[in-house]
Amino acid sequence: MSFFKKLKEKFTATTDQASEKFKEGLTKTRDSFASKVNNLVARYRKVDEDFFEELEEILIGADVGFNTVMELIDELKMEVKRRNIQDTRDVQAVISEKLVDIYRNDEEIDATLSMNNELTVILFVGVNGVGKTTTIGKLAHKFNSEGKKVLLAAGDTFRAGAIEQLEVWGERVGVDVVKQTAGSDPAAVMFDAVQAAKSRNVDVLLCDTAGRLQNKVNLMKELEKVKKVIEREIPGAPHEVLLVLDATTGQNALVQAKMFKEVTDVSGIVLTKLDGTAKGGIVLAIKNELGIPVKFVGLGEKMDDLQEFDAEKYVYGLFADIIEKEEE
């Protein structure tokens, strides 16, 4: 059974809401990437070097990343030779397999969210404008709807309106916000938030931070101070440091990820606005070139459009039109 047929059985035979979210959210990327792959397959009768060269261009155009593309093409060539694949149509399913393998083959990379049995502290980092506060609000809604007691910490005390924006989200999802006045020491806010979380028996504490990039040294010192305060009060915390990136910025998101990886221990990526770009391959570039898993993706504006990343659902979203037409 081909990989496409397996995905069809898994996702089209059930009413899996998450897979539908990926299908809808990746429409722009699918219309661009999958249609180009379809056209390529239609134009070539055999799998040769010219076919791979054009496929390489398509993958780079989808922001999969140069290094990742080179590795992927090499693996595809080996697999095509091993299976003695002659028909270009059969290559599509192999591509989808390899895209999933990028995530599955690294056992050291955990794409699931680390949750503590008592109080889980999640620190959010990222530049201004990427959707950090919205992500915190949507995750607060997710945890709240799961029956967990959630608290927010307004640690971005520098950006005008950041505290108020987080408060709006807190009211919207029914979650309290610990704050101080604008310009306050972020570490002091985190101390208050941790104490409040302990005294109120909170399950999840979501912490916002400033997104200034002008001075890498200051950013590093600020994040180190915040993390030190949290760790001093709760050994082993923060349990996650999630870097929020805007998928529509393409390779610039990769640059931001590299910078933040230098200044703090990023444990996972939240890739927002994936529905707003035709270059959804950036998901693969981030994980493969930086070794950081994408843990959540933004697939729309609705409250439940922030979804846990799943490699199979991602590939289903990329190739949904082909998969659903797959013959039994």
Q: Binding site residues for GTP, as ranges? A: 126-133, 208-212, 272-275
Torsion-angle region of residue 183: left (phi > 0), alpha (psi -120 to 50) or beta?
A: left
What are the phi and psi torsion angles at 52 (to 5°)? -65, -35
Q: Residue 304 corresponds to which amino acid?
A: D
Annotated binding site: which residue ranges? 126-133, 208-212, 272-275
Q: Which two tokens stand for residue 260?
A: 């933040």
SS3 of 64-103: the string is CCHHHHHHHHHHHHHHHHHHCCCCCHHHHHHHHHHHHHHH
Residue 180 contacts residue 189 (beta carbons within 8 Å): yes
Closest to 269 in 3D by CA, of 217, 231, 308, 225:
308
Beta strand pairing call for 306-308 and 294-298:
antiparallel
Beta strand pairing call for 204-207 and 240-246:
unpaired
Residue 143: is it exposed, middle or buried by C-beta count within 10 angstroms (0-12/13-18/19+)?
Answer: buried
Residue 97 contacts residue 3 (beta carbons within 8 Å): yes
Order across the sheet with 204-207: list the strands.
176-178, 150-153, 204-207, 120-125, 240-246, 268-272, 294-298, 306-308
Q: Which two tokens stand for residue 124?
A: 């959010």
With residue 220 as reference, give the H or E element that holds it: helix 216-233
